[in-house]
Structure 1
């Protein structure tokens, strides 16, 4: 069995990457739901019972970070990132495709570089035992690890887009429902 066959290593790795990213997407969507529930609870407690919480704002901040960086890889996979394609759309198909691939390579390099920087900061924060300066103390490395996850996986999706046809990245023949 070769790595380029349908049952090869690359398709299995791509499927695992997709499964992990979809799980992150679902967790990020759940974080948005929790933000709504926490804010509703905070408003109820503050204005109806005159007993505001001290923790709600902290959790909303943490969950907002989670929602952005857990969802980011899946949105990159689905083409939900910001893309200005005016020039590639105006060029002949072959040249436009090349320009898009160059953009994906640049996006991959930027995300992977930022992920590397973030990883270095994760390590420093972990070694120092640094926690947030909030009512609810939370280890900062756990928060920045989510940033690293999002940047790394988005960088991998941009690389997949640059190297493979869109149909292989999306796993659905390029068709979106």
Structure 2
């Protein structure tokens, strides 16, 4: 069991590392593109396309780590006003709803991925790129997000601290 947890943690932090590297690439590609334009040179077409793909990968691969670290956006005005016992129940119900939504999105993402593979779809802009290489991120990321939200449903830690305004 410890090996599975360790491998899962490696997957989660690996996804976060790829997301962080993608953020660096986005900065480099945008600065390069702007510099080229200012020098009167046409930027490479793949710079813009790779930035678009990077936004998708960065978002999808970084989101599960953000869930784990409670770095996602949520408002605690209501949960902060609730008494402790009720806050725990509401927080776990919200986390359970997040699990359900994440699993639904993972399912539809898997269907989209399989459709792209079956149809042999390509994104044809700057270069031919198999569309499944983009959509594979949906089922993976949303499944991992569902697992992370489930930790708030069944684990000792709550998603909501009840301390509205303190951490901003």
| TM tier, smaller | 0.7 to 0.9
Give the direction of change, closer, same or farther, for the CA distance of 1:90–1:15 in structure 2 (3 Å limit). farther
CA distance in 2, matches of 1:91, 1:41: 50
Task: Select which of 18, 25, 35 maps to 1:34.
Answer: 25
1:49 positional shift = 4.8
Q: Which runs of 5+ in 1 are unaligned?
A: 1-8, 168-177
Cα RMSD (Å) of the superposition?
Answer: 1.6
1:166 matched to 2:153? The reply is no
- Specify which of 35, 41, 51 is matched with residue 60 of structure 1: 51
Where in structure 2 are the equivalents of 1:72-83 lying within 5 Å? Answer: 72-83=63-74
Structure 2 CA distance, aligned partners of 1:84 and 1:160? 19
Residue 144 of structure 1: aligned partner? 135
Q: Which runs of 4+ in 1 moved over 4 A?
A: none
Taking structure 1 as the reference length, the TM-score comes to 0.83
Greater RCO, 1 or 2 (C-alpha within 8 Å, sep 6+): 2
Q: How many residues align?
A: 158
* Uncovered stretches (5+) of structure 2, i.e. residues with no partner: 159-168
Cα drift, residue 21 of structure 1: 0.9
Shift of 1:105: 0.3
Shift of 1:12: 4.3
